[in-house]
Structure 1
Amino acid sequence: MPPVVFLDQRDWVDLAKERKGTLEPHKSDLEDVLEFVISTADTGDVVYPIDLTRFRETAYHSRPEHRDSFFDFLFDVSNGYTIAPYDIVRKEEITWRLDRVRGNAGYMTGRVVNQGLPHLFGGQNYQIVPTDGEKDPSDIPDRILQEIYDSIESRDVFDLAKDPDHGLIDMLADQEGWEAMAQELNETRHAHEEKYNDNENRRRREKIRSFMSDTIPEYFIRGFESGLSIQELGVFLGDYWSGAPDVDDAETFLQSFPAEYSFTELVYQRDIQGSDWESNDIADIESLSVAIPYCDVVTADNQFADLAHRSNLDEIYHADIITDLHELPGVVSERL
Structure 2
Amino acid sequence: MKYIYLDQNKWIELAKGLKERNPIYISLYETIVKNVKDGVWAFPLSSIHISEAMKRRNEISRKQLLDLMFSVSNGYAICDYITADNIEFNTWINNKAVNYSQLKGEIIKHDWAAIIGLSTENADIKFSERPCLSDELDKIKQIIKKLSCGREIFDLICNVVNDNIEEDEAFYYRCYEEGRKSFLSWKNEIKSLEEYKDKHLYPAYLSNVFFEVYKERITNLSPRIRINITELFEENSKNKTTAIANLEALPGFNVHNRLIFELYNNPDKKVHEHDFNDLAYLRIAIPYCDIVIGENYWCDRVRNYSLDKKYNTIVNTKLLSLISD
Q: Which residue of structure 1 lines up, in the alignment, with residue 317 of structure 2?
A: 323
Q: Which residue of structure 2 lines up, in the alignment, with residue 334 of structure 1?
A: none
Correspondence 1:299 to 2:310: no
Correspondence 1:193 to 2:184: yes
Distance in 2, matches of 1:14 and 1:7, equals 10
Note closer, same or farther for the CA distance 1:137–1:149 as it changes in structure 2 (3 Å cut): farther
**Native 8 Å contact 2:111 2:120 kept in 1:** yes
**Native 8 Å contact 1:128 1:137 kept in 2:** no
Distance in 2, matches of 1:248 and 1:239, equals 10
RMSD of aligned C-alpha atoms?
A: 3.1
Deviations 1:125-182 (A, max 9, x none): 2123469x999999762212221221112122213345xxxx53641x6232232122
Distance in 2, matches of 1:209 and 1:135, equals 57
Note closer, same or farther for the CA distance 1:245–1:203 as it changes in structure 2 (3 Å cut): farther
Distance in 1, matches of 2:140 and 2:258, equals 45
Q: Which residue of structure 1 lines up, in the alignment, with residue 148 of structure 2?
A: 152
Correspondence 1:178 to 2:169: yes
Distance in 2, matches of 1:44 and 1:194, equals 51
Matched to 2:154, the amino acid is F
**Native 8 Å contact 2:203 2:244 kept in 1:** no
TM-score by length of 1: 0.82
Distance in 2, matches of 1:136 and 1:110, equals 32
**Native 8 Å contact 2:183 2:264 kept in 1:** no
Q: SS in structure 1 opposite 2:315? A: strand
Q: Which stretches in structure 2 are left out of the alignment for 5+ residues?
A: 192-197
Q: SS in structure 1 opposite 2:121? A: coil
Note closer, same or farther for the CA distance 1:316–1:169 as it changes in structure 2 (3 Å cut): closer
Q: Which residue of structure 1 lines up, in the alignment, with residue 225 of structure 2?
A: 228
Q: CA deviation at 1:41?
A: 1.5
For these two proteins, the number of residue pairs brought into alignment is: 312
Q: Which stretches in structure 1 are left out of the alignment for 5+ residues?
A: 332-336
Percent identity over the alignment is: 20
Deviations 1:30-60 (A, max 9, x none): 3443332222122221111111100000011
Correspondence 1:269 to 2:262: yes
Q: Which residue of structure 2 lines up, in the alignment, with residue 41 of structure 1?
A: 36
**Native 8 Å contact 1:186 1:276 kept in 2:** no
Q: CA deviation at 1:3?
A: 0.9
Higher relative contact order (CA 8 A, sep 6+): 2
Q: CA deviation at 1:260?
A: 1.6
**Native 8 Å contact 1:211 1:264 kept in 2:** no
